[in-house]
A and B are shown apart, each in its own frame.
Chain A
């Protein structure tokens, strides 16, 4: 029996969602990128996600972690609800070099907390730029309470994306969104992936 779990990667336009999933996915990311239409968007990137990005991480032969990236622009927000339904947690990516998108990110976070009760972490992307805003300032500007992790992130670096996902998984565990019972899916289908420390 095949099982899947879903994590959603969201954030404003050009925050780095597609790159984030590309950096960690086991498969070539399925994307729905089309050419950007407005001058402002063209100034930042030539293509943008209009429906979703999709990547996977194989956990065991019978279990996959699905990563869904949402489109960033508010005009595609009808997709957010569909993508967020049933997710175990989500990552909010923030462009640490573009404060112009902070208001949009706040709107997006409010919308997501309405859509899903799943725990989330915030990843302050583009921290490889020495001019980038520090995660602490991002937390302050977005009004993120201390209980929610705000992490430094470089979406183009696999190790950085990995740390964000690990933090999200630990955050999910700490928020009690898990059961105490052992899960047969993993125990019945042990693999080298699942059994190694």
Chain B
């Protein structure tokens, strides 16, 4: 039993957010063709990490630098297993995950690669992230990051934020990607909930209507109550 996937499906920054949300304790193994990386997580905090290369397992990077090194990987596979023995491991990593994610993005020109499945465009509508954090972050935001954050609370698009703040579009997109990567903002929901039905007991779908075949039948309240009681007894 483990959490398994590829960084194309779930980025390392997202994994760090999930570790904090849990908070989770265990070992994260990342692997690509030539290298292996390991990150130890204790109660959501990154405590140690290293990367080895080749069959001789030469250490390429360790501690904070190992995490920064792995944040560059976009196609590696990963396995995270719960492991309570990590609790006793000495803390070797100085900075928290958010700081490391932002530091990695500062070193690169294309921060959008940090969250490949959340494409940021000028029409992307933003919201504040609903995900709570159980630990206090060491990250201090810059003025422009705060400006974007305050507008995200109003569910504005990146284009609207650029218009109001006169911030250049490429800069705004870059900052949005940074805030997404550390989990402070989110892209607004893409799926619309079903509209509330107005069906009555006497309503019947019009068979001539093209949607008639697809309509859910109206269900009596007493019928639903009976089903609820029966399922509750199971």
Contacts and interface: CB of A to CB of B under 8 A. Distances in A.
A2 B204 CA distance: 20
Interface string B15-26: 001100110101
Q: Which of B3, B80, B132, B198 has most A Cβ within 10 Å?
A: B3
Interface stretch (A30-38, A45-53, A69-77, A99-107): A99-107
Contacts of A57: 227, 230-231, 234
B220 A185 contact: yes
A98 interface: yes
B170 interface: no
Contacts of A59: 226-227, 230
A88 B21 contact: no
Q: Which of A65, A117, A134 has most B Cβ within 10 Å?
A: A117
B191 A100 contact: no
A194 to B, nearest CB: 4
A166 B231 contact: yes
B117 A137 contact: no
Contacts, number: 202
Interface of A: 5, 24, 57-60, 63, 65, 85-89, 97-100, 102-103, 106, 109-110, 113, 115-120, 126, 128-134, 136-137, 139-148, 158, 162, 165-166, 169-170, 172-173, 175-183, 185-187, 193-194, 196-197
Nearest to B131: A136
A97 to B, nearest CB: 5
Q: Is the interface of A mostly helix, strand, loop or mixed?
A: mixed
A4 to B, nearest CB: 11
B193 A148 contact: yes
Given A130-B26, A173-B221, 7 more contacts: A57-B230, A59-B230, A117-B197, A140-B130, A146-B130, A183-B201, A196-B233
Contact of B2 (A89, A129, A181): A129
B224 interface: yes
A99 B82 contact: no
B189 interface: yes
Q: Which of A116, A120, A129, A133 has most B Cβ within 10 Å?
A: A133
B1 A97 contact: yes
Interface of B: 1-6, 9-10, 14, 17-18, 21-22, 24, 26, 80-82, 117, 129-132, 186-203, 213-224, 226-234
B224 A178 contact: yes
Given A143-B191, A177-B216, A133 B231 contact: no
A5 B227 contact: yes
A103 B201 CA distance: 38
Nearest to B3: A131
A186 B226 contact: yes
Contact of A178 (B21, B220, B226): B220
A80 to B, nearest CB: 12
Contact of A196 (B2, B80, B190, B229): B229
Given A85-B213, A179-B200, A145 B193 contact: yes
Contact of B200 (A139, A148, A158, A180): A180
Given A118-B194, A179-B199, A162 B131 contact: no
Nearest to A24: B234
A86 B204 CA distance: 12
Nearest to B84: A130
Nearest to B203: A179
Contacts of A177: 197, 199, 216, 218-219
